[in-house]
Chain A
């Protein structure tokens, strides 16, 4: 008997599962099919404008810095300003996201852009988030060529661009978005929910920013 059959057999024996468990199978199939929502906190149920404001407030509360710009054309200048204000070299790492590519980086002549996954040598990386979650000021990023996962974790500074219209009240709305883009039951290889910069409290419970991931998280919300 395989280990799989042994473990499943032990579970069924302990649970005294009846020989015909059609009712149980149906219960499981129904739940996976209907994906019931559960409790959504009241604070996440806001009109659209309120959601964007709540997202910004929560993201800042959890340690991110924030800029709101009117359109994508303003993103390169905002990135350059951020780098200058932190005394960082004018270099960024970026994936193939079309919205970012079309933002008009040639306006920032001194800015060097490296493309593809991060190799660990980048001080600043720029990603485009799939969504924002107002409830907790959380960013949602999907892996792939457009926004390689390594950019989320290796650079010291992570700059994330987010469309205001992609800000949702709750986490559940992001699952609905994912089902639309990926198909039901499907996920990107890596899906990162990020709330603030990397931190640790492992030494004497003192909270410090910049443990292994980015020391700083800067969010640019495009209206």
Chain B
């Protein structure tokens, strides 16, 4: 997709007045927050499991090169192929070669953010191979020529009437008078249409939630079953996964699985957790003839050893965006990047560079809800702050903000001068506040007062109020 991260402000303004979008976004809070809390509360060990999941991934990242070697060895031993891709372009080329060698005309796809990251669909289409998304949400947005607005609920920005319109536009072989007014009829129609596609496809492409070093296994976690049909019915199964998906053992996988579905959808377990190891075996009546894994770096190795390394613990559950007030207000497309929400605001600058994405780390109120729900305990606000520092260093921050910050820093580093200044400013502002005690407009604060009033200060500075309070306390104690 075209990166428009630096148009975040303009995108957000548009999103805020989009009535359809605002209606749909209500489903994010309704659909995710309460369910996650309920699932977490029902498991007394949940917080301890989060600690353990964090520690497992930290251990993996400290030994990533060795676990990758071990994983590769096991995949090869099971009869699979491993392809290493340094960049998105390399990964696209590798997948296309596999498809061409298989003589593929259509490929089915399970839901995968990594293939969004490498823009695989456009590349396959441009080379005469039709990609068919089979996850219901992904199918809907593919029909619309859109990109996912959420990493686990790609069509969360849409209402059912919009989906009905798309199905009527595209499924022209079906009777016009059919009833598509309810989600259940839309789901049935997608199921029927896609059933035929699984059998016709030559190659099935999925992502992976985990790659297990102990066994050379790729794991997908889904609810619909489309990923399983994709990887079972195609002659060739291609797994596209980034290098940090590695976990050491089956036991480690279990630890993280216990926090994954609960954090994502509030389920104890997703419906299907599928472990795939190599191609069809001698006495297998079904399964793919070939099994390929494309291991993608695309900038991740450069995050290791930096202040952004913790981001590589992310298991893509979506909890950070489900709980983000900014995401709730503007939805995922406003971020203008493959990965939206808080995790996207940290990851995207790492993958695409801060020059092109500087507005994303600013798309946050720093309320901290993302970190408080992250199953892998990724310090998302801290990392956004690091990106803001980088942005400032590189003079990417707008001039007004930069000079404002510099002026503030000058005073902040000189406490006596600062206190002297505010001891005049506060009473003055209090006086100007008049009887309404509010400002409708204020120089240099238009960004605030355009949308709401600014309460007038009480007249004293915080330190003055504190000193008086302490003095009063001492008096009453005596």
Contact = CB atoms under 8 A, between A and B. Distances in A.
Contacts of A178: 250
Contacts of A116: 285
B357 interface: no
A76 B279 CA distance: 33
A197 B272 CA distance: 9
B233 interface: yes
Given A208-B184, A212-B134, A138 B153 contact: no
A16 B257 CA distance: 31
A11 B268 contact: no
A20 interface: no
Contact of B64 (A11, A187, A205, A206): A11
A190 B283 contact: no
B63 A203 contact: no
B248 A31 contact: yes
A86 interface: no
Contacts of A17: 65
B285 A35 contact: no
Interface string A1-35: 01110111011101111000100110110011001
A38 B252 CA distance: 7
B309 to A, nearest CB: 9
Interface stretch (A66-74, A123-131, A142-150): A142-150
Interface string B40-63: 000111001100100010010011
Contacts of B228: 149, 152-153, 192, 213
Residue of A62, A95, A210, A213 contacting most chain B CB atoms (<10 Å): A213
A172 B183 contact: no
Contact of A39 (B48, B156, B297): B48
Nearest to B141: A202
B304 A8 contact: no
Interface residues of B, number: 105
Of A16, A116, A187, A191, chain B has the most CB atoms within 10 Å of the CB of: A187
Contact of A205 (B43, B70, B153): B153
B302 A36 contact: no
Given A200-B223, A201-B153, A213-B228, A172 B63 contact: no
B432 interface: no
B84 A3 contact: yes
Interface string A38-74: 1101110000000000000010001000000000000
A46 B393 CA distance: 57
B187 A201 contact: no
B269 interface: yes
B255 A39 contact: yes
Given A3-B90, A153-B228, A202 B154 contact: yes
A107 to B, nearest CB: 26
Contacts of A149: 228, 232, 286-287
Contact of A172 (B186, B191, B213, B254): B254
Given A4-B84, A7-B295, A42 B134 contact: no
A154 to B, nearest CB: 7
Most-contacted residue by chain A among B78, B158, B228 (CB, 10 A): B228
A68 B158 CA distance: 43
Contacts of B274: 190-193
A211 B24 contact: no
A100 B31 CA distance: 41
B85 A3 contact: yes
A10 B215 contact: no
Contact of A203 (B48, B187, B278): B187
Contacts of B36: none
Interface string A148-164: 11101110000000000
Contacts of B65: 8, 11-12, 15, 17
B63 A193 contact: no
A7 B268 contact: no
A36 B187 contact: no
Given A117-B285, A152-B228, 8 more contacts: A6-B86, A7-B84, A10-B301, A28-B70, A187-B216, A189-B279, A190-B232, A199-B223
Interface of B: 24, 27-28, 30-32, 43-45, 48-49, 52, 56, 59, 62-70, 72, 74, 78, 83-86, 90, 134-137, 140, 153-156, 158-160, 163, 183-184, 186-188, 191, 194-195, 199, 213-217, 223-226, 228-229, 232-233, 243, 248-252, 254-255, 257-258, 265, 267-281, 283-287, 295, 297, 301-306
5 contacts: A3-B84, A31-B249, A41-B43, A120-B199, A149-B286
Interface of A: 2-4, 6-8, 10-12, 14-17, 21, 24-25, 27-28, 31-32, 35-39, 41-43, 58, 62, 95, 116-118, 120, 135-136, 138, 143-145, 148-150, 152-154, 170-172, 175, 178, 185-206, 208, 210-214
